[in-house]
Amino acid sequence: MSSENAPCPTLEPTAAVPPATDRRRWAVLAVLCVSLLLVGVDLTVLHVVVPTLTRQLLPSGAELLWIVDVYALTVAASLVTFGTLGDRIGRRRLVLAGFAVFGLASAAAAWAGTPAQLIAARALLGGGAAMIMASTVAIIRVVFTGRRERALAIGIWTASHSVGAAIGPVVGGLLLQRWWWGAVFLVNVPIAALALAVGARVIPESRDPVPGRWDAVSAAMSAAGLAGVVYSLKRAGDQGGVDLPVLAAGVGGTGLLVLFVLRQRRLSQPLLDLSLFAARRFTAATLCVLGCFGCYTALLFFLTQRFQLVDGHSPLRAGLSLIPLAAAAAVGATSAPWLAARWGNRWAITAALAAFAAGLAVLAAGGEGGVLPWALVTIGVGAGVVMTLGADSIMAAARPEQAGQAAAIQETAFELGAGMGIATLGTALAVTYRIALPPVPGLGPGDHAAARESIGTAIEIADRLAPPVAVPLREVARSAFEQGFATVTAAAAVIVVLTAVMAAILLKDDDVWRSGRQLLHPGGGGACSSSPCMGCTIQAASPEA
């Protein structure tokens, strides 16, 4: 094998895997990309379905937030655990199991009759998605041994998840035009079944012959700690205050996460290698991805509700209204390498975050009409640049032997950001809405208390009341939601500005593109000619390089 196509030695599995033919390699990539497309769609597809689902299942405010973000939170909490497990039992086996779990959970979600059933099904969906995502990058590296092909394959794989998240609201709107809300989940079943059948034939098995110990105690501590913290946050927002159970959940969850960190520092083979965060560039890039994707995903959720419940759009029109945002994010992602080559990662990320914050500020100020599409385009371009270059900085900051852990943290930052963004900003919107909703003459105390749960519940109550009460209820509910929307977009703008300041300070030695340095393979493999692979290290380039 020539040095041109020499794989990064630190990343290749030591278990023997037969080389795949060209046709089989691209078939493997197609299966993995379809699966990641489904995972991305399910991250956002429910956003446009929320108003319809709320009218039929009548979830409380806290239940609605759990329905929306338990999927992303489950994925985030499980990625590192399943990544380690896949190294131990076989990545092909884990991915195929993920397809099966994803299909079964989709069917369960489609026929859920209560909010609790739907929350449980969505959590199971997240587990299946985590099983799929945890091993796909490793499988791609096994199948694509050539450096350029591997870079192309990983790029296509990454784009599949982003495209899925972007088209999720559109898919949901199209399905709701003809079928009931459960169709957005039921459509996953035949696709997951096909991926399982084809994947069983074409995906090769691989595993780490000397895997790290799978620490079930650490996995349970991290998942339970995260669940306790997020539960307390949601319940506090739903109740408008903190009672003893909520406080106990928050303190207990925080304590478990602290113990998890202490345990990882003590173990010789930790579930999560926390030494990665000793590099400030790695920490800053991870926080950039988490904050940016959290605000971006939360904005998708709030905009779909606003378009339907305030502006009166149909589900399909609401999804189509988000096309400028999704298209701009794709443009930002594809232009990110050019911006990095011109300005360096540090200033490209900082400028993109500033643009993102400016767009959010316009929305907070009540930008509508012709201003709205431009605000969405600005937000989309900024988010696309940050998510692309942030992920690149995460991988560049890690040592070659830590690439697998870095990849898991990178994916966790995206998924955790999505869940925490909706949880935190969604709670702020719910509290603001509840405070801003005034009493309506003629509305009984029970209906008023129910209307304070969410704007979807208020509209549902108004639909069964006489016009003298229904009309003012709709008006005050929409006005209260607008106040909440302005509050959370302003808060998101502040978060993004603070993230931009952090990036400008902590990413100052991340200007790889302009520093005269190259991304070099360890062991003399030569310099990468395209996007860096997972085993590259940043080294000073000699004049002869």
For the segment 452-503, what is each residue's pLDDT rounded down to a tens digit?
877 878 888 888 888 888 888 888 888 898 888 999 999 999 999 999 999 9
**First vs last C-alpha separation in the chain:** 21
Can you give 202-221 as a three-state secondary structure string? Answer: HCCCCCCCCCCCCCHHHHHH
Average pLDDT over residues 223-250: 72
CATH of 1-213, one of 1.10.1740.10, 2.40.30.10, 1.20.1250.20, 1.10.510.10: 1.20.1250.20
Q: How confident is the model at residue 540 (pLDDT cuts 50, 70, 90)?
A: very low
| pLDDT of residue 271 exceeding 90 | no
CATH (residue range 278-510): 1.20.1250.20
Letter for the amino acid at 79?
L
Closest CA to 87 of 21, 149, 11: 11
| Residue 325 Cα distances to 303, 440, 500, angstroms | 11, 36, 20
Its pTM stands at 0.71
Question: What is the residue extent of each domain of the chain?
Answer: 1-213, 215-270, 278-510
Identify which has the larger pLDDT, 174 or 237.
174
Choose the weakest-confidence range: 155-159, 222-226, 364-368.
155-159
Mean pLDDT of the chain: 76
Question: Residue 389 pLDDT > 60, yes or no?
Answer: yes
By the 8 A CB rule, do 417 and 291 touch? yes
Tokens of 232: 């307390």
Two tokens at 399?
A: 């040592």
Only one residue has tokens 């113990």, namely 259
Pick 536 or 127 by higher pLDDT: 127
